[in-house]
Structure 1
């Protein structure tokens, strides 16, 4: 079958999953929306206005508040699930963010949860009735598992992915699966199966990748908690591009089994699974729920570390009553690409507010000078087979390699097929380890608790232009946990002349050319907080303290 026919059939399946909403009892009616050619740049408000007040109320609650309301029977699980199914269908039409809805599966699950609560008087678990969205290549039993490749359509998951079982056992409702790019190795979400997923606050821009469907859906508030994956920025890029919170955990904390991708089993750069959420507490809720199931008793690769949020990393001094200072390193630029004005402004604003509390925060500058080497190392380790599995998966259906797939596969340090020799792989792995040792020594010498830095060289990029991964891939190379948080939107304050005129590199020269403030108006601005390996809890605690001081500047942007 030609790849074009495969793609047409998958899109028809997706349309049928939306149409199935009308067959529920009572039916869910998705309102008429403008044709794609008639849509404005900013579509969030269009989607929001298509809902009832009650549906808006439900879908705009954070995950922790929503599960509390469900446990208290303020809402039923069926009512909540129906609201999120409707909002997800609207988000799909406006941003192209989903591969399928799961109405029958979700409603049946919600009904069983309502029955359990009615009969026992107790919620099933900490996620009782909470709708959770899933990136498509995370396997869902009996459903398609194509990972963005046309030739892989028709591969059916034999079981749920390992990350889903603890969520399900805790009471989650799975109701929608979201888009990912061809190869899963893009910082945007484009595939021959479903096309491009866009940012709801500016449709000219990318939703990010590779968890870009999760990003756009969350940005539209069609999900309050979703599951993504990350090997070079694939959780953090979509979180930043869509005004969300996202966590790239330390590897080997959460289970990875049951996912579909090329190069499964590679150990040189390890992908991770993690959460995206509309609210910061959703990240801890996700992590604590999964780790409470002790997944290391099933997956022997996992490190047996429970979620350690019962003791503070920044405790109060018993004598002074003051909290231990949070020492924050600030990286404004990685020495390779100077971020666009909205990003540097956001850093300056956050740092300026934190400096108002010298008894709580100590700010130090972090000068980065090894980011170029980091990219050389990690790009050499992404495709140790020279990209043969990627190209074979595309060639099997004849689908063309999309531009950003071709770009990453032809990076200078990616070997030609058949890939690295064993000697070369050992050598580059040794370079990785030496880099990690040097970086750790610098971190320890600085004495910082966490590091604040950009998520990328700009905000959500124009489609087809996301070609610099350095600000996110650095932390994958180091295997450091990193959390993204929203800090505002691009506005007229960013329209002044940009004084950065002398490129730091050829990549920086291209990034300078991309800056045009009118192109990015309305786009969310996100920043990244990073900690040392296995300091996941410390990162989120520090972020919670920081956010308590800087507030929630993105809240008004979505209204």
Structure 2
């Protein structure tokens, strides 16, 4: 029914939206929100309503108070714990799915992160898995019974996928995305779909379809974008594991903002094939990837997908299996892994990170240096990114934003300020975009930069690179604009993992003695106020070279164990 309503609205009203009492886009948005609310109303027991004006800034305890003790216990277990209990039969898939459906419904009331829940589909899948377990006394696959949430523009058969643009709200996926199929065959339960920003090209999550998604640790701050609904849902523990996408930082920024582990693989390792604006543009390649409350599921996610050989059906992928051999083998004599050479990029030379980010880097580096038998830390300064990043913006929006603007015009939908901001970057052309020759020139800049960066990395002899995720912990709503710290590695096509380190507290109250260089550096510096970011998670990024996906996750595991990360748990 929802498809026919949207189609009817578009067919009858688009030509007359300017004179209509209610604009077409608002009618579509209202229908989508009603559909979302109806899906949540089918969760049993029903989710109680809340008054947003009465909510505290940190709503994790609020979420706990709206659930049973057993629901809280289940939803705050790690994926590894849950999978162990499901595999042993100590928890049923139906019990776990119900708990996460309930917490996802609560999450929507508190942070506005859901586009729909799928109670009937999810519980039917969970019952099938429980029946299988009772009959065979074993799990059906490595993700048996684990609920997994999905960013909305990843296709689920028979459901809308729309890039958070009203004119696309009636587009229906004809089939499940390959990742959905693979994870479903491995026993995963798809139960919730999550919000994303207009056009997908923002570091916050706001759309005219669903409104603004906020950060569960501080509702005055952003959850990040564009996989912000995933970040907020997993951050509030409404999902143990989710699927996001990343073309400029869209997995890593929300993971960082919500104190999660997120992984952007090398492009062409995981199936892509997403609904998006400017479809078919390959100047910068996006990729899907996992987001989780803990580190271990990221490798399990990757190995499970690779074991299904997705390159057989998707010829755009490279046939590279997940490689289990260790890059840091343990020395039998010492019981410790081989020494890791870690580069440290403290800032990019353009926008200085706020004090909590710098504190986190210093704390991690100091801990590494205290484990000198395991880590060799070297400063890695490469601060000549302006030309390369201008080329990246020019490749992301080679049409000057025309495709997005044309979609918005279909329903009279207003453009979001952060969407518009993407189109006015120094490297972005004016509509109608680049000539073919100009496009080739920007691709040549990209290739040259990749070669130069690789040579510097090789000369430094790095295993991995430690650096910020962003110059802020989680931006104040409407202010998150700067993306070089993540987008740099989309340009380079390097795999990168994000991990939590600490949280903003009284240690960050001192005066920040820094003189900005001007431009975005000044704008970012003016945003600093320790009180504004209280309680926000502080996260960092670990990077490896192209197709060293296994290495970066293993390196993060070694670092995490050696340093006992995170130093402070933001959920406590």
Same fold (TM over 0.5): yes
Query: 1:321 Cα deviation (Å)?
Result: 5.2
Q: Which residue of 1 aligns with 2:14?
A: none
Structure 2 distance, partners of 1:166, 1:524, is: 32
Deviations 1:77-132 (A, max 9, x none): 00000000000001111000010111111001100010011111121100000000
Counterparts of 1:40-439 in structure 2, within 5 Å, are 40-257=56-273, 259-308=274-323, 310-317=324-331, 322-439=336-453
Confirm or deny: 8 A CA contact 2:497 2:542 kept in the other structure.
yes
Confirm or deny: 8 A CA contact 2:205 2:213 kept in the other structure.
yes
Counterparts of 1:512-523 in structure 2, within 5 Å, are 512-523=525-536
Q: Which residue of 2 aligns with 1:455?
A: 469
Change (3 A) 1:556 1:269: closer
Query: 1:504 Cα deviation (Å)?
Result: 2.7
The gaps in structure 1 that reach 5 residues or longer are 22-26
Structure 1 distance, partners of 2:362, 2:377, is: 12
Q: Which residue of 2 aligns with 1:557?
A: 570
Structure 2 distance, partners of 1:468, 1:556, is: 26
Q: Which residue of 1 aligns with 2:47?
A: 30
Structure 2 distance, partners of 1:189, 1:18, is: 20
1:18 aligns with 2:40: yes
The gaps in structure 2 that reach 5 residues or longer are 1-8, 10-23
Structure 2 distance, partners of 1:155, 1:323, is: 50
1:493 aligns with 2:510: no
Deviations 1:137-178 (A, max 9, x none): 001000111110001111111001122111011000000000
Deviations 1:237-283 (A, max 9, x none): 000000000001000000012x2101222111001000000000011
Structure 1 distance, partners of 2:336, 2:63, is: 45
Helix, strand or coil for the counterpart of 1:304? Answer: coil
1:441 aligns with 2:455: yes
Q: Which residue of 2 aligns with 1:24?
A: none
Query: 1:30 Cα deviation (Å)?
Result: 1.9
Query: 1:215 Cα deviation (Å)?
Result: 0.2
TM value normalised by structure 1:
0.97
Structure 2 distance, partners of 1:441, 1:84, is: 47
Structure 2 distance, partners of 1:218, 1:543, is: 20
Provide the aligned length of Structure 1 versus Structure 2.
550
Helix, strand or coil for the counterpart of 2:29? Answer: helix
Helix, strand or coil for the counterpart of 1:475? Answer: helix
Structure 1 distance, partners of 2:87, 2:229, is: 29
Please say which of residues 317-326 and 448-457 is displaced more in the overlay: 317-326
Helix, strand or coil for the counterpart of 1:105? Answer: helix
Confirm or deny: 8 A CA contact 2:536 2:570 kept in the other structure.
no
Confirm or deny: 8 A CA contact 1:229 1:271 kept in the other structure.
yes
Confirm or deny: 8 A CA contact 2:93 2:146 kept in the other structure.
yes
Query: 1:322 Cα deviation (Å)?
Result: 4.4
Structure 1 distance, partners of 2:192, 2:422, is: 29
Query: 1:549 Cα deviation (Å)?
Result: 2.1
Deviations 1:509-528 (A, max 9, x none): 11110101111001111100
Confirm or deny: 8 A CA contact 1:64 1:285 kept in the other structure.
no
Q: Which residue of 2 aligns with 1:548?
A: 561
Structure 1 distance, partners of 2:79, 2:54, is: 33
Deviations 1:197-228 (A, max 9, x none): 00000000000000000000000000110000
Confirm or deny: 8 A CA contact 1:28 1:82 kept in the other structure.
no
Query: 1:62 Cα deviation (Å)?
Result: 1.4
Confirm or deny: 8 A CA contact 1:336 1:505 kept in the other structure.
no
Confirm or deny: 8 A CA contact 2:271 2:310 kept in the other structure.
yes
TM value normalised by structure 2:
0.95
Structure 2 distance, partners of 1:449, 1:387, is: 38
Q: Which residue of 2 aligns with 1:526?
A: 539
Structure 1 distance, partners of 2:336, 2:228, is: 41
Change (3 A) 1:338 1:152: same
Structure 1 distance, partners of 2:83, 2:379, is: 40
Structure 1 distance, partners of 2:85, 2:336, is: 34
Helix, strand or coil for the counterpart of 1:558? Answer: coil
Structure 2 distance, partners of 1:85, 1:216, is: 15
Structure 1 distance, partners of 2:66, 2:108, is: 13
Structure 2 distance, partners of 1:419, 1:174, is: 39
Confirm or deny: 8 A CA contact 2:148 2:189 kept in the other structure.
yes
Structure 1 distance, partners of 2:307, 2:430, is: 44
Helix, strand or coil for the counterpart of 1:83? Answer: helix
The two structures, once aligned, show a CA RMSD in angstroms of 1.1
Structure 2 distance, partners of 1:291, 1:125, is: 14
Structure 2 distance, partners of 1:31, 1:232, is: 37
Q: Which residue of 1 aligns with 2:19?
A: none
Confirm or deny: 8 A CA contact 2:560 2:566 kept in the other structure.
no
Deviations 1:308-335 (A, max 9, x none): 1x21101134566542111100011100
Helix, strand or coil for the counterpart of 1:74? Answer: coil
Query: 1:353 Cα deviation (Å)?
Result: 0.9
